Amino acid sequence: MGQRLAARVFDLAVVLAGVSFLVFLLIHLIPGDPVEVMLGESARAADKAALRAALGLDLPLGEQFLRYLDGLARFDLGESLHSRRPVAELLAERIPATLRLGGAAFAVALAVSLPLGVLAAHHHRRWPDRAASLFALFGLSIPNVWLGPLLILACSSGLGLTPVSGDEGFASLVLPALTLGLSLAALNTRMVRASLLEVLHEDYVRTARAKGVSRAAALWRHALPNAALPVLTLLGLQLGSLLAGAVITEVVFGWPGVGSLLVDAIRQRDYPVVQACVLFVSLVYVLFNALVDVLYEVVDPRTRPGT
Amino acid sequence: MRLLGLPGRVLLAVAALALLAPVLPLSPYTVDLGRILQGPGAGAWLGTDELGRPVLDRLLLGARVSLGVGLAVVSVSAAVGVALGLVSGYVGGWTDRIVGRVIDVFLAFPGILLAIALAAVLGPGLENAVFALAAMGWVGFARLARGQALSLRGREHVLAARALGTAHLTIMRRHLLPLMVAPITVEASFGLASVIVAEAGLSFLGLGVQPPGTSWGSMIRDGVRYMLVAPHLVLAPGLALSLVVLAANRLGDRLRDRLDVRLTARRSW
């Protein structure tokens, strides 16, 4: 166990280091002179030199990376070129909104996909199953860039139910959470259905049915817990990507989260902020995935080695 | 053709329209301020946009970009990813460990985020968008080809070829690659769907094709501003986008079932 844990921590460390290094390299991918891109061509030479020194771009690459890692360790992500404020502070302001949106979308995904998936498996090859499959297919095929505006069109302007954009309390959370949650729900519905169908053919389900357990009880009590594992994995991965990948949805709805911060920073060529956003999101994503791996073993004793 | 089915035909039809767009009598750039934001009607079947340009003509122009970027990215990603994964899995040893770790690191990024960051850093524009999308697209193919190569390299026909002294490159090309074509095709089909969605996302953020050119993503972006008065500006490109993504996803499902391919859970972008 200890050895496996060590191996896992090592793997995680390698991936985290790799991710940090890639994000560090980002700023060096700017074609030409990054300082010129940030300040514009007409900037004075003295300003350029000052910015270059402030960003440490005049140092050798290895030293730059060390400085960058050193800053990371102290949660010092540099200073925004635009607002002159510490990047960590800007990021910290936006994280709660992204968390709220991610949580709400996750709730939507769960609330839709679990009943729908169970229903589909229970009525395999009959109309509820077909309807669920159709929902899943459309959910997977309608991109967030379109689903968002579509929902705004239907709910905010058509029915006047919810605010169109911004963060004004619970009502404005509804549409972004639906946009983000429904595509996940589509994927999840498929997963719940597929893993249930797989388990329903197992011997222990037949045994339970032979003992006189009702179809519904066999499904809920015997099949569902065993079908939970792949579903749980998918959910875990999704939670990571939710907190990470809500960029488009946040922009569509003007939601003041990390994604909007990233896009604003891109428009302002505020590269330290861009770098920090990408790093934050990727790290959250990696950590969630690692957490899911661990949970996997906790939930399902079968996946533990030596059993 | 039977293998492609309805979804394949839909994709081919859209592709044909996109290819034919330059020779069709279209006027996607003609500004006509007298007919701004008109709804669908005679003269402009899908209405006009905020500069009076016909939406249908621009939709076909956008199809060229959306499909073109999709195909370009999938081809580049497949070529790079398969080559890297195949060699890595076949050669094994340290090479494979390093390539495996690199794949892990790239998989650790949420793909669309990496593409957004790359496109942002490289500057807006079509070529950069293609590069950014391919930079995240190759990973899936590499992982697939590596896994396949690892499981195939111990097969008897491969061992026989090695015993006969066949060059490694020939073994990979003649004895391994043909066996991977089916799963790679399936991956490419799903990949096309995700790349088209991702491209729409980049264009929506203004990181893709630049005006006066257009893609479905940038049409949605421009349309959102006038959505309440002219909903067709958002509905038309969105429908086209969803139709193509739906077709590509269905094609993937269909090929997977027909070619009897088992894939592990795909990454959602």
Provide the H-helix boundaries in B205-258: 216-224, 232-258
Tallying the residues shown for chain A, one arrives at 307
Return the CA Rg of chain B: 21
Q: Is the pTM of this model over 0.90?
A: no
Q: What's the pLDDT score for residue A166?
A: 66
Q: What's the pLDDT score for residue B267?
A: 40
Neighbours of A77 (CB within 10 A): 22
> Which two tokens mark A239?
């939670």
Q: What's the pLDDT score for residue A307?
A: 47
Q: Which residues of B touch A262 (CB under 8 A)?
A: 116
> CA of B260: how far to CAs of A136, A230, B5, B176, B192, in Å?
22, 22, 16, 18, 20
Q: What's the pLDDT score for residue B98?
A: 92
Tens digit of each residue's pLDDT (9 = 90 or more) over A95-109: 999 999 999 999 999
- In percent, how much of chain A has pLDDT > 90? 20
Instruction: Identify from B66, B98, B102, B105 which residue to disrupt to test chain A contact, counting A C-beta atoms within 10 A and taking the largest count.
Output: B105
> In angstroms, rounded to a whole number, what is the distance separating the alpha carbons of residues A101 and A178?
10
Residue B16 pLDDT greater than 70, yes or no: yes
Specify whether the backbone of A86 is left (phi greater than 0), alpha (psi in -120 to 50) or beta: beta
Instruction: Identify from A26, A33, A146, A281 which residue to disrupt to test chain B contact, counting B C-beta atoms within 10 A and taking the largest count.
Output: A146
Tens digit of each residue's pLDDT (9 = 90 or more) over B157-176: 999 999 999 999 999 999 99
Q: Which residue has the higher pLDDT, A24 or B46?
A: A24
What is the pLDDT confidence band of residue A35, given thresholds at 50, 70 and 90? confident
> CA of A94: how far to CAs of A174, A278, B40, B135, in Å?
18, 13, 41, 28
Q: How many angstroms separate the CA of residue B224 from the nearest CA in chain A?
A: 7
In whole numbers, what is the pLDDT of chain B averaged over residues? 87
Residue A306 pLDDT greater than 60, yes or no: no
Q: What's the pLDDT score for residue B95?
A: 93
Average pLDDT over residues A222-247: 79
- In percent, how much of chain A has pLDDT > 70? 92
Q: Which residues of B touch A183 (CB under 8 A)?
A: 268
Q: What's the pLDDT score for residue B237?
A: 93
What is the pLDDT confidence band of residue B269, given thresholds at 50, 70 and 90? very low
Instruction: Identify from B10, B59, B121 which residue to disrupt to test chain A contact, counting A C-beta atoms within 10 A and taking the largest count.
Output: B121
What is the pLDDT confidence band of residue A45, given thresholds at 50, 70 and 90? confident
In whole numbers, what is the pLDDT of chain A averaged over residues? 84
Tens digit of each residue's pLDDT (9 = 90 or more) over B57-83: 889 989 999 999 999 999 999 999 999
Q: What's the pLDDT score for residue B268?
A: 38
Q: What's the pLDDT score for residue A160?
A: 63
What is the pLDDT confidence band of residue A84, given thresholds at 50, 70 and 90? confident
Give the containing element (helix H, strand E) for A9: helix A2-26
Give the containing element (helix H, strand E) for A303: none
Residue A110 pLDDT greater than 80, yes or no: yes
Q: Which residues of B touch A31 (CB under 8 A)?
A: 122-123
Tens digit of each residue's pLDDT (9 = 90 or more) over B225-253: 888 888 888 999 999 999 999 999 999 98
Asked whether the bond before B212 is cis by omega within 30 degrees of 0, the reply is yes
Q: What's the pLDDT score for residue A164?
A: 64
Residue pair A28/A284 in contact (Cβ under 8 Å)? The answer is no
Q: Which residues of B touch A144 (CB under 8 A)?
A: 201
Here the ipTM equals 0.85
Q: Which residue has the higher pLDDT, A202 or A171?
A: A202
**Shortest CA distance from A148: residue in chain B:** B224
Residue among A145, A153, A247 minimizing CB distance to B227: A153
